[in-house]
Chain A
């Protein structure tokens, strides 16, 4: 019955969060009852093709889930432009695009003009709205004409996800960047240039002045240098462990939450420390770089805020995952249970 589980996993993706588990439980009970009934009539277990036929009869996961939405919301302008089946996805994509636009556009404006005005943000937001809406209106036309949502292949359903499995590829990616950060942080000769070269190519040479850097670290960094190094090294150790044993356990998740919390704490104190980069007073035309330092400090502050938001989100998910894992019995308790 793995096919049924794969089908339900896909339906779950589109269901409203509030009733998700209850709907899945009921849908699963009905599908399994139908399969039991068919098996009883045939007097043998169902073949894969017979199971597929029952699932196809239920409808495509996206369509089935859309019918469970309490409010069948649409985008209408005289007539329906975006129907209830794709409206939730439309809202999701539109919100994500608008949020990204409103986060990235201010950075671009600060970098180019040194300030942000509301009017300059309006055009990219309106453009996003028009593009996303047009795209979904086209999908709706195709849905009405060719019923694209009804066409689906149960054999192509994604395999069952293990929520506790750790992706080795992701871990390797994290290990690489953490290691690069450690090398730069320890000021290993040439490390910063090598990392910059990796991202920027030959352009990196423009950021590696031969004699003096126009910006220097503020004294606040001396306080945070060792704590940051320690937290990053602990993270690196955990990434190494995750790569070797790619499965979350309760204890490992607790360590992960603690490290994320420490990172969040450091971010908070760094944010409160004020300007983190200062103009190097030893360079000849120091005043020329004050606006550059202002922009860089602004970007650093916004990056710290974004980092804190990401860390908070991560902590929330890790705690949620911890609460769903049953507690591992300690060896002594396991022994007493065995007795």
Chain B
């Protein structure tokens, strides 16, 4: 592989990864906001659970989800600083349930596909393994 093809493959992977993460982040944020949090602590808790997310992505996302009615927010003082606390709204909870159901369905389907593929590959390998000695046998006869 030349450096340019490696770079193109990396760019493509980054773009696809970004697309894959976009939907997952919404589910993660909604799931995490079952308990009330403000922007910074939410980012920290997501990161602690293995989902690192940029501030410049998370903070606007929270506002967007709130404008869509999935989150509710409230300004409150904590440690002598005013902070905006977000929590899942009733409609957000309903949408989260639906999204999780969809997530599990997709996950099961993909698992099944990967499993089938692995099975097929294994069967094919076994088939080839059985044929190879026969060929050797034929070759020896010549």
Contact = CB atoms under 8 A, between A and B. Distances in A.
Interface of A: 19, 23, 25-27, 29-30, 32-34, 36-37, 57-59, 63-64, 67-68, 70
A21 B81 CA distance: 17
A30 B40 contact: yes
Contact of B55 (A25, A29, A58): A58
Interface in B22-53: 38-41, 44
Nearest to A63: B56
A70 B67 contact: yes
Nearest to A59: B56
Contacts of A29: 38-39, 81-84
Contacts of B79: 36
Contacts of B38: 29-30, 33
Contacts of A30: 38-40, 55, 59, 83
A152 to B, nearest CB: 12
A59 B56 CA distance: 7
Nearest to B39: A30
B63 A33 contact: no
Interface residues on chain B, size class: 10 to 19
Interface string B55-74: 11101100110010000000
A216 B55 CA distance: 67
Nearest to A64: B56
Contacts of A68: 59-60, 63
A32 B81 contact: yes
Give the interface centre of A25, A29, A57, A64 by most chain B CB atoms within 10 Å: A29
A36 B60 contact: no
B136 interface: no
A59 B57 CA distance: 10
A33 B81 contact: yes
B19 interface: no
Contacts of A70: 64, 67
Most B CB contacts (10 A, CB to CB) among A30, A32, A36 go to A30
Residue among A25, A57, A67, A70 with max Cβ neighbours from chain B (10 Å): A67
A29 B81 CA distance: 7
Given A19-B63, A30-B38, A59-B56, 8 more contacts: A25-B82, A27-B59, A30-B59, A33-B41, A33-B83, A37-B44, A64-B56, A67-B59
A197 B44 CA distance: 67
